[in-house]
Every structure is written in structure tokens, then in C-alpha cells.
Amino acid sequence: MTSSAKDIEGALAPAQTVLVVSHMRPDGDALGSTLAFARHLERLGKSVHTWNEDGMPEKFRYLPGSERITPPPSEPRAFDAVVAVDTSTRDRLGSCLDAISHAPLWINIDHHISNEGYGDLNLIDPSAPAAGQILFEYFESLGVALDEIMAGNLFAAISTDTGSFQYRGTDGRTFHAAARLVEAGVNVSALSQKMYDSHPRRHWNLLRHTLNTAQFLCQDRLAVFAVSRAEMAAMGALPEDTEGLITHLRAVEGVVVAAFYEELKDGMIRISVRSKNPSVNACEICQQFGGGGHPLAAGVRLRGSLEAVMEKFNATLCHEIERGN
């Protein structure tokens, strides 16, 4: 049962202290949506905190007001309400969860189809290509005038989560939102340059590494690449630098599924999966192993050596490609 913007606004009305949070390893939609909603609540006179397990990654510092996002404190805190955006399960909040000592009201605003509605009020719209799109419509339905901070964050959220207005779910609503956000003050080219046209040199090195080491398997329908911790360290690369690399593999003609294997600090292997064919459902494949996401873009973390995990998961992916084609 999905709540309306009006319901949520009403429920939040008495709250004085509100925490806005989103998922670990945040992307532009998670952070932009956090900042836009936090700004909205602040304009209503509330005391607002914004946390993310990973704090504010360097690459998203272009988001207006980004400095307010911090990692959660070590001492748990109480809030009148918690608003989770772009977060399919409560677990994805990571260490933020442990830092909330008390919160009588949970609001859950998300576009992941796998979201089961863990909030007291839930606004879930899987047809929206970004949580930022849901928030844009939330504000529009309430007649909230967007300031530049809100507009910039919502534009960045929508743009980054749609791959710059390309992915499934991008429709007339999305372009309508973009047009209105421009009217509210977004400078598209200046913001886009920060979002897409300004990667550190180490990102370039990482892309080169990807292109030089990628493998084409399963009759060239599966493209995969991997980076070990040692390779990341040798290139001086940060975890956030790997974002977007997989799109280069997916873009090769004939490739149905692209996968990226990344060795994490905790010894887990983080797998990102992108499918170009709706009959090969990346979300369902990842869910088999305890992960989740969207039909064409999903992920999962597995324990094991990079080689062993790759061998096992590649075999699964090839099997699913053969079944789906």
C-alpha cells in the first residue's frame, strides 16, 4: 500500500528532528535524493540530519549542499522520524541503522521493485526511473516551489540514475521533470560537466585496465572484468572510481550481459550485473544469491576468492543467457 505525498507530509508535520538516509555505496540518486528531501524538511523548520555509511564520496561533492552528508556518529541518536530514500531494504543502510537509537516514524521513499515496504508509510513507485523522480513529483503534487539546491540535487539524481536520460523508465514524465528543474535554476551543461566530464586521472587508468583485461565469454554474449585489491591499490583507485566502467562492456555489440567483479576490503567479492535483454533478468539472478536491484541492473556480494567467485558466477550468467535467448 503506497502512501501519497500528502499522507507523508502530514505524518512528518509534528516531527521536530528528522534523519534522512540512503543506501551504502551511494550513487547520485541516493545522495541527490537525500539532499533534496533534507532541504525540503529544513525549509519546513525542522532540525535535519543526513547520514550515509560511506559519508560523501569525493566524486559527488558537486551536489549542492553535499557537505552536510556525514557518516553516522558512533553514539546512537534518537529522531522523531527517519526518512529512507532510494533504499530497497533497511539492511542497505548499513551502519546508519546501528546509529539510530529511537525513531517512532519510518518513511520509505523508493523506486526499487524489490522494496517490500519496511516503512510506517511507504511511497514506492517502480515505474519511476529514479528516487529523484518520485521526489520531484512529491514536491510538484504539493505545490512546493523548488529552490536551486533542491532542483540541482533532483536533476543530478534523475540524470545519473537514468544514465543521462537513456535507461528504461525514462519517459515523458522524466523529461517534463528535467524541463521544470531547468526552469528552477539548473545549469545543465555546468552540472553535466561535473557529473560526467570530470574523472580523476586514476579513473582513466582504471578504464584502461578494464579494456586491457576484460574477457568475452559464452560466445561473446557475456563480457566480464575484475579488479583485485592489489590492482586497485597499484592504480591508486578508490572504490567510487569503478562506477560506470561496466557500461563500456555492456555497450559492445552482441554482449547480452556484462559483469564486474570487485574484491572488497572485507574479503567479499562485489558483483555488478548489467543485462541488455529483459529476458535475462539481472535482479532475479542476483536474488538467487541474496542480492537485488533492477531487471537490467543488479548486484550481489559473495564470499570467496576472486577466481572462484568469477568461475561460479560466470557459469550461472552464461546458463541464464542461454536460457533467455
Smallest gap, in angstroms, from Cβ of residue 232 to its own copies?
A: 18
Residue type at 171? D
First and final CA of the chain: distance in angstroms? 35
CA triplet 74, 21, 14: central angle to 5 degrees? 100
Query: Based on CB atoms, which residue is closest to its own copies, 304 or 324?
Result: 324
24 beta partners: none
Query: Based on CB atoms, which residue is closest to its own copies, 74 or 189?
Result: 189
Per DSSP (E only), the strands in 17-144 are 17-22, 47-51, 77-78, 81-85, 100-102, 106-110, 121-124
Smallest gap, in angstroms, from Cβ of residue 203 to its own copies?
A: 8
Smallest gap, in angstroms, from Cβ of residue 207 to its own copies?
A: 6
Query: Based on CB atoms, which residue is closest to its own copies, 25 or 180?
Result: 180
Q: What residues make contact with its own copies under the rule CB under 8 A?
A: 159, 163-172, 174-176, 178-180, 182-183, 188-189, 192-193, 195-201, 203-204, 207-208, 211-212, 216, 220, 247-248, 250-254, 276
CA separation, residue 314 to residues 1, 74, 118 (Å): 37, 39, 33
Smallest gap, in angstroms, from Cβ of residue 195 to its own copies?
A: 8
Distance of CA 22 to the CA centre of its chain: 9
Q: Strands 106-110 and 215-217: what pairing?
A: unpaired
Report the C-alpha gap between 155 and 148 in whole angstroms.
Answer: 10
Residue type at 104? P
Smallest gap, in angstroms, from Cβ of residue 197 to its own copies?
A: 5
108 beta partners: 84, 122
Query: Based on CB atoms, which residue is closest to its own copies, 43 or 276?
Result: 276
Query: Based on CB atoms, which residue is closest to its own copies, 13 or 145?
Result: 145
Smallest gap, in angstroms, from Cβ of residue 8 to its own copies?
A: 27
Query: Based on CB atoms, which residue is closest to its own copies, 26 or 129?
Result: 129
